[in-house]
Amino acid sequence: METIIKNVDVRRAESKIAEHDGLKAAGELMRLRGDPTVKKYLALERPARLARVIGFVVENFDRYVLLNRIKLKSFSPVATGNDELMRINPTEAAEEAMEKFVNDNKSRQFKRFYELSEVAGTAFIEAFNREVALKWGPNTFFRGVENDLAEICVTGR
């Protein structure tokens, strides 16, 4: 995740947010995270966010193992077709809860947070260095992991 975050021009993202909502918008967004209603929303959102991160990691690890011919069984829910693993993914339920929360919530602070979050999300994408990201692959994130696997007695080439 550090590799991905290092690929964002933070100053450009902040500039895009300021362009849309003024110079203090990024600070306002951070302050609004302390609002009790916003905290409830973030608690609903957290399982989906973490599941997406885990999915990204597992998917890229699976690809690395395949590309480097490491004999290791996949544990990806999609690759294995494991229904139980697919069912325990909290993303769908979290997204439904988030949508309901957004639709039902009347808090002015939450509405402002949600609006600024949308702006920040767009600014983040615009500040992302796509040329570098296009060169990424499983080797970017997992190169050398076979040495770590060997140390914990997982071998197989």
Specify whether the CB–CB gap between 91 and 45 falls below 8 A.
no
The CA distances from residue 37 to 14, 34, 93, 105, in Å, are 24, 9, 19, 9
Look at residue 154 in the predicted model and tell me its pLDDT: 57
- H helices present in 7-76, as ranges: 10-21, 25-32, 36-67
pTM (two decimals):
0.80
Look at residue 133 in the predicted model and tell me its pLDDT: 77
148 backbone dihedrals φ, ψ, rounded to 5°: -65, -40
| Burial letters 56-83, b for 16+ CB under 10 A, else e | eebebbbbbbeeeebebeeebbeeeeee
Look at residue 102 in the predicted model and tell me its pLDDT: 96
> In this structure, how many other beta carbons lie within 10 angstroms of the beta carbon of residue 12?
15
> In this structure, how many other beta carbons lie within 10 angstroms of the beta carbon of residue 29?
19
Rounded average pLDDT per 10-residue block, the chain, 157 residues = 81 87 88 97 97 91 89 84 89 96 95 94 89 82 83 61
Look at residue 128 in the predicted model and tell me its pLDDT: 87
Domain residue ranges of the chain, discontinuous segments joined by +: 2-151
Look at residue 155 in the predicted model and tell me its pLDDT: 54
